[in-house]
Amino acid sequence: MLDYTRYYKAILSRMNLVEKFKAAVFNAQAVLFDPTNQRAQFVAKVNEGGLFLLNEIMVDTRGPEILAALDVISTTVTKPTACAFYCKQHIYRTGLVPFI
């Protein structure tokens, strides 16, 4: 549900002007030399926002995918029963679907 291009764009949209300027400089540096500073800036922003930020970004950017998951669950499960699902990349993103 979360590809990195949309993720980075969503984080960038939540940065202030100074952070966006640094991101532009770090992006140029990453392309030419080393992505360490760019990665560190985005990781810091993600850590600042925590799991709430990750879920907020998924809801903001992945509406159709979330709707598809909920549609599969609602049409497949016809009586009260257990329903198992998981993140296919195994990186802890399954919490959003049962929450909704």
**Structural domain that includes position 12:** 4-99
Closest among 59, 62, 11, 2 to 39, alpha carbons compared: 11
Q: What is the pTM of this model?
A: 0.62
The count of domains in the chain is 1
Q: What are 57-71's pLDDT values in tens digits?
A: 888 888 888 888 888
Q: What are 75-95's pLDDT values in tens digits?
A: 877 777 777 777 666 555 566
